[in-house]
Structure 1
Amino acid sequence: MTLAIDFFFSFRSPYSYLAAPRAFALADDHDVEVAFRGVIPMAMRGQSVPLAKRLHTLRDTKREAQRLGMPFGRVHDPLGDGATRCLLVAEHAVDMGRERDFVLAASRAIWAEAVDVATDAGLRGVCERAGLDWSACAAALTDPALQARVDADTAALAALGHWGVPVLVLDGELYWGQDRIEDLERVLTRQLA
């Protein structure tokens, strides 16, 4: 039986951006299933984040991105329409088997290339880079079934007693934060040995 990991992710979270390549790599390195679970950003769920925390997060993520060798710093905050549009296209990408490609392309565009994914031009470029057909992605933006899946994933994170991302879940155990992926990898190595 293949082990399954739920990967709760927000396009507004720079930590999710840092986690995504390593989270998806778990599927390759350990022959596990990594299920993308996109969630609505905290600020869009009525949870306030103090300015000092937001500023610290940007400084910390820049430092972590340098450590990981990932580009970072040309940021276009996707809060609002940008995040919503990315979540809907990500659900469409799941159906196409291209979620990894889209999540990596969109998060890099947001956190390293200052692409405005709230615009059709910005999002279209990301979709095309991920190998997705723009007309199908544009249709996904108004698909209530895809929005219901985003809402269900957001509710599932809350049902786990959590609010922040990234969160990876294996066998009911939560690994919160991009800095916990190595812990999860050690557990996988033991379980699959």
Structure 2
Amino acid sequence: MTLTADLYFSFRSPYSYLAMPKCRAAIARYDLDIALRPVYPLAIREPTFFERNHPNWLRYTFLDVLRLAQHDGITMLPPRPDPIVQDIATRQIAAEQPYIFALVRMGQAAARRGRGFAFADAVSQLIWGGTEGWHADAHLAAAAQAAGLDFAELQAEARDDAVALDAELAANQAALEAAGHWGVPTLVFNGEPFFGQDRVDLAIARMKAAGLEERA
């Protein structure tokens, strides 16, 4: 019997990126479907968060994700460009955001087709794996193809159905909070949230207790 879990994910979250290899390995090994539930990054939902937080927060996060990536053998480099336009010195979020809205809407369009996880996995490797100019159509088209999707179709849907997609993204965020958390990455299984890339193994253990089996 196939078990299903929801993964609440942000394309701007380095911890979401670090969770993907563990989730990918679990899907390959077990009779498991992980449904991607993309959300807008914190910088969009709460633009003043970074200015209000402790000055060390951002610096510590950079340090932490890089050492985690090194520990797990995952390639990680600063995104070029950052999916969110932000002045790192002042931590201020720019009013104009040319990348994130189309990207997250395409992620939700992929999720509509049941290919959200594969799309997010491929795109996050572009963003965090060192691909300069990851936002170029050629790069995103290759990621979409790897996920079994048509990039032109996703791009058109993100543009033409933006209002409905944004409503679905807001519903994803509401569902995450209803499950008991607010941040990403969070796996939710049987209504129980597992927050952080370091909780994936614990979530899998809970799934095994519920009957998760290895693929034949």
**TM-score band, normalised by shorter chain:** 0.7 to 0.9
1:115 and 1:140 map into 2 onto residues whose CA distance is: 25
**Equivalent residues, number:** 193
Alpha carbons 1:88, 1:147 under 8 Å: kept: yes
CA RMSD in angstroms comes to 2.3
Alpha carbons 1:71, 1:112 under 8 Å: kept: yes
Question: Which residue of structure 2 aligns with residue 66 of structure 1?
Answer: 70
Could you state the TM-score of these two structures normalised by the residue count of structure 1?
0.87
The answer to whether the aligner puts 1:174 opposite 2:193 as a matched pair is yes
Change (3 A) 1:115 1:38: farther
Question: Which residue of structure 1 aligns with residue 158 of structure 2?
Answer: 141
- 1:106 alignment partner, one of 118, 123, 135: 123
- CA shift at 1:85, angstroms? 1.9
Alpha carbons 2:181, 2:193 under 8 Å: kept: no
- CA shift at 1:120, angstroms? 4.2
2:112 and 2:182 map into 1 onto residues whose CA distance is: 25
- Counterpart of 1:48 in structure 2: which amino acid? F
Question: Which residue of structure 2 aligns with residue 11 of structure 1?
Answer: 11
Question: Which residue of structure 2 aligns with residue 48 of structure 1?
Answer: 49
Which has a greater percent of helix? 1
- 1:78 alignment partner, one of 50, 67, 83: 83
**Long gaps (5+) in structure 2:** 85-96
Alpha carbons 1:86, 1:106 under 8 Å: kept: no
- CA shift at 1:39, angstroms? 0.7
- Counterpart of 2:123 in structure 1: which amino acid? A
- CA shift at 1:150, angstroms? 1.2
1:117 and 1:85 map into 2 onto residues whose CA distance is: 13
- CA shift at 1:103, angstroms? 0.8
Structure with larger Rg: 2
Alpha carbons 1:42, 1:163 under 8 Å: kept: no
Could you state the TM-score of these two structures normalised by the residue count of structure 2?
0.78
- CA shift at 1:124, angstroms? 3.7
1:44 and 1:18 map into 2 onto residues whose CA distance is: 21
- 1:164 alignment partner, one of 175, 183, 194: 183
1:103 and 1:173 map into 2 onto residues whose CA distance is: 22
Change (3 A) 1:3 1:127: closer
The answer to whether the aligner puts 1:188 opposite 2:203 as a matched pair is no
Identity %: 37
**Long gaps (5+) in structure 1:** none
- CA shift at 1:59, angstroms? 1.3
